[in-house]
Every structure is written in C-alpha cells, then in structure tokens.
Amino acid sequence: MPNSELNNIPFNDFISNFKKTLKRAFYETDKIEQFVQKRGFPSLVLRDIMATNPLSVAIPKEYGGRGIKVKECLGILDAASYESLPLSLALGINNALFLAPVAKYANPAVKGDIFKRFLTKQNMGGLMITEPDYGSDALNMQTFSVKNGSNYHIKGTKHWQGLTGMADYWLMTSRQKNTNGVLGRDIDFFICDNQQVDQRIIVEEYYNNIGLYPIPYGKNKIDIKVPEQYKLEPETTGLKLMMDLLHRSRLQFPGMGIGFIRRLLDESIKHCSTRIVGGKPLIALDKVQQRISKIQSAFTISSALCARSAKFSGIENNLALAGIEANSMKAYVTDLMQESAQSLTQLNGANGYKIENVGSRGIVDSRPFQIFEGSNDMLYSQISEMIIKLMTKHKSMNLSVFLSSFNLTEKSLDYFKSLVNFTIDSNLAQRKIVDLGKIISKIVCANSVVELGDMGFRSDLISDSLETIKHEVSMLVNSFKSQTNISPIQDYKDKSSWLAFS
C-alpha cells in the first residue's frame, strides 16, 4: 500500500486488513502451532504482516505515518496479541521503546530518514538499557560515552534486548565519562543505525529464552561511534526523558494484555462448554465458573486500562511523573496475564501441557512481562513509597481517607472503603510495602473500570470485575495485616535431613 494513502484509511479498515493478514499468515501461509516451537518468525509470515505497515501507527503524520494516536497503537497491539503475544511484544518494542521516543526527542534533521526506512523497508528498532551487572539497578549502568569531535564514542555490554541481532536501529543508553574517568549521573540516549559500519552492534551470544521464541535475545558488545545529531534531546535531563519513555511504555502494556487475555477467555469458554466430564460440560462446575469469571474480569480490567491509557499517554504529554498509574497498570495487567494463562492451562487438563497449547505457551510467553521494564515486586514497592510520601505530605495516614480524595482512586474507593480503613505506618517491611503496592494498584485500576462503566461498557462485566477486584484486595489486606518477619536461614543444612530422623 503506498505510504501516501496510509493516513487516509479509516482505522476500522486499517485494523480489519491487519487482522485478516494475521489470520492468513498464521493459519494459511504457516501453521502457528508448529512455528511457535522454532526460533524466529518465519520470514514469509513476518513479511506478510509487516507489509500492512502496522508500525505506521507510531509514526508522525508529517513523516507519512498515521500520527501516533494511542488508541491506534493499542488497537494494533490488541489485534496482534490475540494471535501471538510475541508478535505483539515485537510491535510494542518498536512503538514504545524506539519510535515514540524518536518522534518526541530526536533532532528533526535525522527523523525523516529513520521513519522512511520503517515505512518503506520494514526496518525495526529496540532499546538497550540492561547490562549483565545492572538490571533493576539500571541507573548505575557502566556503558559510557566520550565525546570526540562531533561523534560520541560509546562502549559497554548490554544484554537481554528484545530483537537482538534483528533490529536495524537501537536506542542506546549510556553515561557520560568525564576527563577523570568518572561517570556522570545522567543517562544519555543515542540512536544507532546498525547498517553503519561504525555503529554496528556485535552479538556475542544468543540466549536460549524459554518462551517468546520468535524474538531473539542475547548479549551485545557495544563499541560504536555515533554522530552528535543522533543524541536524543531531553527537555530537561536524560533521567526525566527515561522516566517519560518508560512510563509511556508501561502504559502500553494493557494493549498487549487485552488481546492475549481475550484469547484465553475465548479458549476457556470454548473448551469448558464442550468438554464433558461426569456427564456434564466442565462449565457446570462452580470452581470452573470461578476460574473463567476471573479471566473475564481480567478482560474487563485490561479493556478499562486501554481506554484510560488512550486518553492521556500520547507523546504530547510528559509522563515522567505518572509513576503511580504507569506502574499500577504494568504490574497488575502482567500479573493478570500470567494468572489467566495458568487458569486456562489448568482447565485444559493434560492437553494443556502440550507445547503448542495456547494456555501453556501463554504461561511461558507472559512470564517475563512480570520481570522486564521494571520487575513487578520493585514496581509495587515504588507505588507504595510514592503514596506513603504523598500521605505524609498531606498528613493523612489513613489509607481510606487518603484514597477517597486522591485523583486516581476517588471514583473506585467506595468499593474498598471499609477494607482499607487502616493507618499506614511509614516504617514498613518491604514485604508489606509490596502487598500495599498491590492493594493500591488494584484500586487505581478499578478507578478505570468505573470510568469505563460510566462510558457505557456492559454493566454486568463491570460489576463482576469490581467484585473480583474487591475479593483480591480483601485477601491482600489480610496478608498485609498478618505477615511475619521470617527470613531465610541460609546456613540450613545442619540437622535438617529427614533421613536422619526416620
């Protein structure tokens, strides 16, 4: 399709063409059940899909794209993740971790060529942050840059980058080294073009990732020279740019979650209404109904989060301070993805244990979503810490009282009021901080569910989902209130073999 026409196609037509192509590529050109067991996307499948220009949704209009409307970006991720979570993640990496930051922060002189290669040559891009010794602690990364004339010389080692060895472009993060060899605190972002000899990234090793087979991961050696105009230009500091970028990306996770969870829901309803056990369909059993209802609630929650994200996470807004909402959405939706995949696998019985089964493949494919872009335990801790800081500032330490007038929870708090009517001690153990973060993230996300209901979404789905969240919050409050301080006994081998006592 000529690029000049991309802008003029109504989104409904654009997405229905994309969905049709996915069906053809996954079920006619190739058989997805077979290729999920091999590494990499089959080239014909990828070529077919990329020919529909799905990444055009994340390219500005003035450069021939569809204009970075969050609704369209999430719509593409949703359609892709219904068929293939790895495909959705590959598109999500390109959109949120490369194209959006380039559109927002790159020097205008370099944008045209980059976007043209995405639109006409199906180029791809990813983001390099993590290093072997610095993952969660990314701010202490050791990859550094030194300015030589009009180039930056960047050296270091990065690993676990999605699209390793496959992307044409990378956003490279590093710290500036001063003349005394000391690394600065700020983080810089550089666009590197793998097709330039001086900017080629050497893949030292490919990893055997247990899931997400189509996406290559590995260890990358960085020793590149990047012209100065390819450095992203932050509005203030590189750290703020990084928070804006990461929060926007976390707010895209519901797009990858929604299609994936809807597929699990459809599969579980289909299987449980046709599988007969003891003369009755499985769905007649109460526990089975509870499992499916929880998946359905996850579907409603991720729908609500997509609608909410579409409202405010565009590049026109700076999201550096949107940590509570971004972390809440990312951590909760990825937990829901994993739980839903676990449930479908259980409901499928022994056949759920086949490698090509949607549920078990979903377990391994969705598991790292709870780890990358901020490990969930860390994100839940951060949510609590941010809220406790605000509560302290407002001298309002009763959780229910505080959340009733907090803008991200004021609409949903009524459902949870009595459950969270307790005082927060500002000196909590981290295990409690994580539980508290889980409680808050659910109430924050429930706020979006209430908003979706107000917009006219099916009321039975909305009320069932709020009831499910309430049950989860109640269990977490119980855990929060009754935790012990037990810690691992590392030197536990003495007097601990059962054989000696029988």
Ligand X SMILES: Cc1cc2nc3c(=O)[nH]c(=O)nc-3n(C[C@H](O)[C@H](O)[C@H](O)COP(=O)(O)OP(=O)(O)OC[C@H]3O[C@@H](n4cnc5c(N)ncnc54)[C@H](O)[C@@H]3O)c2cc1C
Name the site residues for ligand X (rule: CB under 6 A): 93, 126-130, 135-137, 160-162, 209, 212, 368, 371-373, 375, 377-378, 381
Amino acid at 27: Y
In angstroms, give the least distance from the CB of 434 to ligand X: 7
| Nearer of residues 162 and 362 to ligand X, judged by Cβ | 162
- Report d(CA 422, CA 60) in Å as an integer: 48
In angstroms, give the least distance from the CB of 490 to ligand X: 16
Question: What's the first-to-final CA gap in the chain, in angstroms?
Answer: 75
**Side-chain half-sphere exposure of 212, counting CA atoms within 13 A:** 24
In angstroms, give the least distance from the CB of 301 to ligand X: 23
- Report d(CA 139, CA 53) in Å as an integer: 35
In angstroms, give the least distance from the CB of 171 to ligand X: 9
| Nearer of residues 373 and 435 to ligand X, judged by Cβ | 373
Q: C-alpha angle 203/95/97, rounded to 5°?
A: 50
Indicate the residue whose CB is closest to ligand X: 135
- Residues with Cβ < 8 Å from 307, sequence gap 6 or more? 448, 451, 452, 455
- Report d(CA 93, CA 399) in Å as an integer: 36
| Nearer of residues 427 and 459 to ligand X, judged by Cβ | 427
Please report which residue ranges of 313-429 form alpha helices under DSSP H: 323-347, 358-366, 376-393, 399-404, 413-416
Length of the chain equals 502
Q: Which two tokens stand for residue 302?
A: 């991720």
In angstroms, give the least distance from the CB of 248 to ligand X: 15
| Nearer of residues 216 and 359 to ligand X, judged by Cβ | 216
| Nearer of residues 220 and 468 to ligand X, judged by Cβ | 220
| Pairing assessment for the beta strands 188-193 and 144-148 based on DSSP bridges | unpaired
| Nearer of residues 137 and 454 to ligand X, judged by Cβ | 137
In angstroms, give the least distance from the CB of 165 to ligand X: 13
- Report d(CA 78, CA 362) in Å as an integer: 15
In angstroms, give the least distance from the CB of 350 to ligand X: 28
| Nearer of residues 85 and 391 to ligand X, judged by Cβ | 85
For the chain, the maximum distance between any two Cα atoms, rounded to a whole number of angstroms, is: 79
